[in-house]
Amino acid sequence: MQFQYGCSQVEWRTFGLDTLESVYVLGHSDDLQQLLTILVKNGFQFTAEGWVQLSAERTEDEIVISVQDTGIGMDAEQQAQLFEPFYRADASRGITAGSGLGLALAQRIAEAHQGELCCSSFPGAGSVFTFRMPICVTTRKKRGRQECASPISNYKEL
């Protein structure tokens, strides 16, 4: 599937999303959807050509969701500051719109859900953002107790 974002043509790929069928997590579905939207949007925003891929896997006790792109990538110095509010890598300043708050917000959402968000990237080769979150292993509880959110499989449609 091809998408046009700005002036670029970028292929959208998905892989392994079926592994999340009937998987429940404990969290706020709007926040989790916002986290995924930030990662996918950034993938398209910083990829002029190539592809952006959303992939998922399930381990015994967690889900692992990755957004990988073939975009501009970042060096180690840029990655060290990536989740700081208002940080924008020099290569993206003036080229793409944004305030530098998206990844800082995504990191806070991940942490609020006992999850982890990390990045692996190389200049000119793209980036991989990986979000890990515990699976809810209990069934829904009644009256006044937290319940597991909707199945993660609902996030296929971003």
> Could you tell me the residue ranges of all domains in the chain?
13-137
Contacts of the segment 83-87: beta carbons below 8 A, 24+ positions apart: 83/107, 83/117
Most confident of 59-63, 67-71, 91-95: 67-71
Write the single-letter amino acid at 157: E
pLDDT for residue 91 is more than 80: no
Whether residue 34 has pLDDT greater than 50: yes
- Residue-level pLDDT at 155: 39
Q: Which residue has the higher pLDDT, 82 or 146?
A: 82
What pLDDT shows up at residue 27? 87
Stretch 122-131: mean pLDDT, rounded?
Answer: 95
Cβ partners under 8 Å of residue 144, min gap 6:
none
The 10s digit of each residue's pLDDT in 38-62 is 999 999 988 989 999 999 999 989 9
Amino acid at 119: C
Find the range with the poorest average confidence among 32-41, 87-96, 115-124, 146-155.
146-155
Helix axes 29-45, 102-112, angle to 10 degrees: 150
What per-residue confidence (pLDDT) applies to 136? Answer: 82
Measured distance CA(55)–CA(18) in Å, rounded:
10
- Beta bridge partners, 66, equal 55, 130
Instruction: Report the percentage of the chain scoring pLDDT > 90.
Output: 53
How far apart are the C-alpha atoms of 140 and 138, rounded to whole Å?
7
- How does strand 8-15 pair with strand 49-58? parallel
13-137 to CATH, choices 3.20.20.70, 3.30.565.10, 3.50.50.60, 3.20.10.10: 3.30.565.10
